[in-house]
Amino acid sequence: MRRFTLIAVPYLWLLALFLVPFLIVLKISLSDYALSIPPYAPTLDFSAGWQGIKDLMSKLDFENYVFLTEDALYWKAYLSSLKIALISTVLTLLVGYPIAYGMARAAPEWRPTLLMLVILPFWTSFLIRVYAWMGILASEGVLYQFLSFLGIVDEPLKILSTNTAVYIGIVYTYLPFMILPIYAALEKMDDSLIEAAEDLGCSRMSAFWLITIPLSKSGIIAGCFLVFIPTIGEFVIPSLLGGSDTLMIGKVLWEEFFSNRDWPVASAVAIILLLILVIPIVLFQRNQQLQREAEG
Amino acid sequence: MRRFSWFNATSLTLGFAFLYLPMVILVIYSFNASKLVTVWAGFSTKWYGELLQNEDFLDAAWVTIRVAFFSSVLATVLGTMAATVLVRAGRFMGRGLFSGMIYAPLVMPEVITGLSLLLLFIGIGLDRGVFTIVLAHTTFAMCYVSVVVSSRLVSFDKSLEEAALDLGCTPFQAFRLVTLPIIAPAVISGWLLAFTLSLDDLVIASFTTGPSATTLPIKIFSAVRLGVSPEINALSTIMISVVTVGVITASILSKRSAVAQQRDEQAATQATG
Amino acid sequence: MNQKVFAPWDDPNQKPLIQFQNVTKKFGTFTAIDDLSLDIYEREFFALLGPSGCGKTTMMRMLAGFETPTSGTIRLSGQDLGQTAPNKRAVNMMFQSYALFPHLSVWENIAFGLKRESTDKDAIAARVEEMLRLTRLGKFAKRKPHQISGGQRQRVALARSLAKSPKLLLLDEPLGALDKKLREETQFELMDIQEKTGTTFVIVTHDQEEAMTVASRVAVMDEGRLVQVATPADIYEAPNSVYVADFIGDVNIIEGNATPNGDRVRIDWAEGQPEIWGTAQKPVASGERISFAIRPEKVTISKEKPEDRRNLLEGEVIDIAYLGNISTFHVKVGNGQIIKAQSANTRRLANRDITWEDRVWLTFTETAGVLLEG
C-alpha cells in the first residue's frame, strides 16, 4: 500500500502537470485560430462524451504546420536558431577547453577552489548575468570606454543588439556547462599516459592530440550537447542582447503567443521545436550511455 | 612534478576574468552616482535607497521568495519520492513513461514547458497567480531534485537498509531512520537547487502567472528590456552578494565537517590501533 | 669452467652502458638522490631495491628524462643525456600503472611508438607481430586494454616498451599489480624475454624476492644513497650493513663486544650467556661494538643437547610459524632475546617433536654468520 502511494503521488503529479499539458499543446497545434476565449477552435466538449471526442478529432488538421512551412519567417527562425546554437557551441568549446585543461593540470589542492569558482555563477541569476553584458556592450558602454581609453576605437561600438552580442551572452552563460564535463574527463586521466606517449617518442603537442584529446572526447561531446540543446530554445539572451534581426525560435514562440495571441501557431512552433531537439537529445543520451559502459 | 605551464596559468586567468569581470563591473556601477552607464559621477549608494523605497520591487521580491519556498519544499518531497521509485521500486506498470517524464523536463525548452502549463491552467479554468507558479516550478524542479537524489541513492549501500530490516524495522522506518539521514546531503542540495531554479526562473513564471503576481525576474526583465538601469544594478549587486556569501559559507561549512570527520577517523584509528 | 660467468662489472675493460656520476636530485629542500655514482653494463638485468621514498623511482625517472639531475651527469653509452627530452632518448619505460592508452587497441598500443619514428606500414606491422608473438598476445591484438586481464595488460605494456628496441628498458614495479602466483610466473617470463632480446633492463622494486629472482645485480637504496651494489647471492650471504641484512630476508641480529682471536672473533653479548664465535671478513678491533647477523635457516634447533661445542645456546620455544615447507621457531634464550631458527619440514606434522614451551638447543657454525659494524 505504501509502495503504491510512493509511486502514485509523483506519477500522478507528472501526468497531470507534464504529460497532459503536453498533449494539450499537441491538440491545440492541430486546432484553428478563433477570435474567442480561449482563442482557438474546436474545444473539447466533455458533456457530449465519446461523440464529442469524435467530433473534435474530425475537426483537427495540420493547417498550422502547413502554415509554418509556407511562411519563411518560421523556417528561417529554426535555421537561424540552429546556426546560432552551433556557432556558439563551437565558441564555448574553444573558450572552455583551455580553462578545463588548466584546471585539471593545476595543483590538486587548488582544484576544489577552481571548481567552486566555475560553479558559483550557476547559483547567480541567469537574467542578471545576461543583463551584466548590456552595460558592457552598449554603444558607449564599459567596453567602449575601455577601448577608447586605450585608443583602439574612436566611435561607439555596434555590438549590442547584434548576433555577436548573442554569441558573447551564450558563451558566457553556458561556459560552466562546457567546462565541467571536460574537466571531469581530463581530471580522471592518468598523467603517466602522457609520460608514456612522450617516452614512446611523442612531442608534447602530438601527445596532446593523440592522447589528451581522444581521452577527453566524451567530455567534449557531453559539454557540446549541454550547450547546444538549451541554446536552441533560448529566449532571454536573444531578447536582451540580440537585435530585431536576431531570429531565434524561442523568441518567435514568445511573440507569437503574447503579441499575436495565435495559440495554435505557437503550439505548432513548439511541437516542431521539440521534434528538432529529439535528435541531439537521443545522441546525447547515447554518448552518456557509451561513457557509462566504458567506465563500468 | 606536474607540468604547470604559462599557457595553463594564462588560460585560467583569462577564463576566470571572463567569468567574473562582468559581474564585478555590474557591482561597481551600482555605486555610480550617475544614471548613465557612460559616465562615472562618483561613489553613491543612492540607488540602493531608491530600490528599498520601490514598493513594486519589494512586492515582487516577496512573491518570489514565497513561490521559491513553497515550490522548493514541494519539489524536494516529490523529487525524493520519485528518486526512491526510480532506484528502489523495481518493476511496475508504466515505469518507462515515469522515468521519461522525470528526464524530459530537464531538456525541455522553458518556453514549451511554460506554454503547455499555461494552456492547461486555462483549460481547467484555474486562476493564475502565486499558486499556479508554485505548481509550475514544483513540476520542473522536482525532476532536478530526483536526479540529484537518485544519483546518491544509486551509490548507497543497500545492505544498510537490509540490516535495518533485519533488526526489526518496517520498510518505512528503515527509510526514515537509515536511508534518509544518509542521503540527507543530497536532499538538501536538491532543495537548494530547486530554490535557486525557482528564484531564477523568468520564462515559465511569465507564462503561468496572472496579473495578481509578479515575480522579481519578471520585474527585472521588463525593466531592463528598455536598457541599463542603475536600480537594477543595485538589485543585482544585492542578489550576487547573497549568493556569494551563501555559497562560500556552505563550502566552508562542508569543508570543515569533512576535516572534522577526517580528524575523528584518525583519532579513532589511533585509539584502537 | 669453460662457460664464462656473466659479470661485466668485474671486467675493467668493459665500458658501462649507463653511468651516474655524482648525481644529486633535490625537490625543493628535500634531497631525493644524494651524490650518487653507479655503473650499469650492457645486457644487465639491474634491480633498484628499497623501501618507498628511498629515491629508486627518481633514479628511473631521471633515466627516462622526466626529471633532470640537480647536479652531476648521467651518461648513456658515454654520451651525456643532459637535457635530452624523453621522446629523444633511446630509453623506454614500462610504467607501474602500465599507462596503456585506453582508447587504442592492443595492436595500436604496441605500434604507437613505432609510428612516431617511421611511416613504413609494413615494417611497423611486422615489428608489432613480432612483439605479439614474443609476449604471446596474438589472440588479443584487436582488444582494448579494459577487455583483457591484468597479466595480459602487463605483457602489452612490456611489448609496447620493447617495440622500439631501446638500448635500455626501465621497469617501474612491473609486477606490483599482479597476484603472487602470476607474479612468480611472470618473473621467469621477464628474464626469458630479457635474455632473448638482449636488452639492458633496469627494474625498480620494493619486493626483495623479486629483485633476487630476476636481477644479475641488485642495488639496495636508502634515503637517496646506494647502500650496497652486488649480486643477489652476495647481498644475501655477505650484506655490508645491518640495513641490508635486515632488508633482505629474515635475520637474527646479536649485538656484542668483539675480541679478535686469529681468524675468528669472540663476541660477548650477554651476561651469563656463552659467547658467540664468528669469522671476521675484515679486521676487527678488540672491544669494538659489533653486530652479529645470522640467517634463521643457518641455525639448527634440537631437543637433545648436542655435544659440547662453540655457539651453543639454550632456550625455550615461544612461537612456531608453520609455513608448509619450513617452520620458523622463535626461541627465547637466557637474556630474553628472541632468536629465530628454521628447519625444513621433511617429516609430517604429527611426527615432529618440538612444540611450544619445549627446552631446546640452538647451534650454528662459526662461519654461518657475518660480522657487521655497529
Residue range B144-203, pLDDT digits in tens: 999 999 988 888 877 888 888 888 888 888 888 888 888 898 999 899 999 999 999 999
Predicted interface score ipTM higher than 0.85: yes
Altogether, the residues listed in chain C come to a count of 374
- The answer as to whether C1 is a domain residue is no
Asked if residue A27 belongs to a domain, the reply is no
Q: How confident is the model at residue A235 (pLDDT cuts 50, 70, 90)?
A: very high
Q: From CA A34, how far away is CA A263, in angstroms rounded?
A: 9
Q: For residue B2, what pLDDT band results from cuts at 50, 70 and 90?
A: very low
Secondary structure element (H or E) that encloses residue B171, with its range: helix B171-174
CA dist., res. C130 & res. C75, Å (int): 30
Task: Report yes or no: A1 at the C interface, CB cutoff 8 Å.
Answer: no
Residues C232 and C264 in one domain: no
Give the residue-averaged pLDDT of A163-184. Answer: 95
Whole-number pLDDT of residue C101: 93
pLDDT at A258: 84
C-alpha span between A18 and B208 (Å, rounded):
14
Query: Which of B216, B217, B228 minimizes the C-alpha distance to B58?
Result: B216
Catalogue the E-assigned strands of chain C.
18-27, 30-40, 45-49, 71-76, 79-80, 91-94, 168-172, 200-205, 217-222, 225-230, 252-261, 264-268, 276-279, 289-294, 300-302, 312-322, 326-333, 338-344, 359-363, 370-373
Task: Decide if C14 is inside a domain.
Answer: yes
Cell of A269: 512552433
Q: What is the DSSP letter of C325?
A: S
Query: Would you say residue C292 lies in a domain?
Result: yes
Q: Which three cell numbers stand for residue C203?
A: 627494474
Quick check: is A8 in a domain?
A: no
pLDDT score of B4 more than 70: no
Provide the CA C110 distance to its chain's centre, in angstroms: 29
Q: What is the pLDDT of residues A36-62, one digit of tens each?
A: 666 676 666 556 666 666 667 667 778
C94 and C191 share one domain: yes
Indicate the pTM of the whole model. Answer: 0.84
Contacts of B1 in chain C (CB under 8 A): 27, 66-67
Number of domains comprising chain A: 1
Q: What is the pLDDT of residue C352?
A: 66
Q: Is there a contact between C95 and A196 if contact means CB atoms under 8 Å apart?
A: yes
Residue C3 lies in a domain: no
Backbone angles phi and psi of C160, in degrees to 5: -65, -40
Last residue within a domain, chosen from C230, C245, C260? C245
Q: Do C190 and C254 belong together in one domain?
A: no
Question: Which residues between 212 and 251 in chain A have a beta carbon less than 8 angstroms from any beta carbon of chain C?
Answer: 214-215, 217
Within 8 A by CB and 6+ apart from A256, the residues are: A262, A265, A266, A269
Q: Give a yes or no: residue B68 inside a domain.
A: yes
Q: Are residues C118 and C191 in the same domain?
A: yes
Boundary (domain end) residue, out of C202, C217, C245: C245
Q: In this structure, are residues B203 and B114 in contact, taking their beta carbons and an 8 Å threshold?
A: yes
Q: Collect all residues of chain C within an 8 Å Cβ-Cβ radius of residue A197.
A: 101, 112
Residue A157 counted as domain residue: yes
Confidence of residue B94 (pLDDT cuts 50, 70, 90): confident
Residue B205 has pLDDT above 90, yes or no: yes
CA distances from B86 to B101, B146, C117, C247, C283 (A): 11, 9, 53, 56, 80
Query: Is residue A41 within 8 angstroms of chain B, CB to CB?
Result: no
Angstrom distance (rounded) from CA A70 to CA A280: 26
Question: What was the pLDDT predicted at C112?
Answer: 94
Instruction: Copy the grid coordinates of residue C54.
Output: 628511498
Between B7, B104, B244, which is nearest A120 by CB? Answer: B244
Q: Which of A276-285, B46-55, B63-72, C181-190 has the highest mean pLDDT?
A: B63-72
Give chain B's domain count: 1
- Evaluate whether residue B269 is within a structural domain: no
Does the beta-carbon distance from B116 to A24 stay under 8 Å? yes
Number of domains, chain C: 2
Domain membership of residue B42 (yes or no) is no
**Contact assignment for B25 to A142 by CB distance below 8 Å:** yes
- Its domain, for residue A200, covers 71-295
Rounded mean pLDDT, A110-120: 90
Sheet of strand C264-268: strand arrangement: C276-279, C264-268, C252-261, C289-294, C370-373
Distance CA A41, CA C58 (A): 80
- Residues from chain A contacting residue B108 (CB–CB below 8 Å): 274
**Angle at CA of residue A209, ends A205 and A215, nearest 5°:** 130
Task: Check CB contact under 8 Å for B92 and A7.
Answer: yes
Cell of A188: 580522471
Q: Of C310, C285, C296, C297, which is closest to residue C254 (Cα–Cα)? A: C296
Identify the CATH number of the domain in which residue C355 sits: 2.40.50.140
In a domain? residue A249: yes
Q: Which residues of chain C have pLDDT under 70?
A: 1-4, 349-352, 374
pLDDT at C231: 94
Give the separation between CA C101 and CA A213, rounded to whole angstroms: 12
Pairing of strands C91-94, C79-80: unpaired
Please report which confidence band the pLDDT of residue A30 belongs to, taking 50, 70 and 90 as the band edges: confident
Retrieve residue C15's grid coordinates: 665500458
CB-side neighbour CA atoms (13 Å) of A118? 27
Query: Which phi and psi (to 5°) does residue C67 adopt?
Result: -130, 150
Nearest to A249 by CA among A227, A228, A266: A266
Residue B91 is part of which domain span? Answer: 56-225
Whether cis (ω within 30° of 0) applies to the bond prior to A230 is no
Q: What is the mean pLDDT of residues A117-125?
A: 88
Q: Please answer yes or no on whether A196 and C117 come within 8 Å at the CB atom.
A: no
- Provide the Cα torsion C2, C7, C8, C13; round to 10°: -60
In a domain, A191, yes or no: yes
- Cis peptide leading into residue A121 (ω within 30°): no
Q: Give the three-class secondary structure for B139.
A: helix
Three-class SS of residue C335? coil
Q: Which chains touch B (3 or more CB pairs under 8 A)?
A: A, C
As a whole number of angstroms, the distance between CA C348 and CA C127 comes to: 53
Pick from C245, C266, C297: which residue ends a domain? C245
**3-state DSSP assignment of residue C65:** coil
Q: Please report whether residue B64 resides in a domain.
A: yes
Residues C286 and C151 in one domain: no
Residue range C104-153, pLDDT digits in tens: 999 999 999 999 888 899 999 999 999 999 999 999 999 999 999 989 99
Contact residues on chain A for B222, CB-CB shorter than 8 A: none
Minimum CA–CA partner of B3 in chain C: C66
- Say which CATH number the domain at C56 has: 3.40.50.300
In the predicted structure, residue A179 carries a pLDDT above the cut 70: yes
Where in the sequence is the domain holding C357, given as residue range(s)?
A: 250-373
State the first-to-last Cα distance of chain B, in angstroms, to the nearest integer: 34
* C265 and C181 co-located in one domain: no
Secondary structure of residue C251 in the 3-state scheme: coil
Supply C152's cell numbers.
595480459
C2 domain-assigned: no
What SS3 class is residue C171? Answer: strand
Q: Give me the CATH number covering residue B115.
A: 1.10.3720.10
CA dihedral (B226, B230, B231, B236) positive or negative: positive
pLDDT over threshold 80, residue B125: yes
pLDDT tier at B273, thresholds 50, 70, 90:
very low
> Domain for residue A103, yes or no?
yes
Cell of B143: 525532476
Cell triple for C370: 657475518
In a domain, C313, yes or no: yes
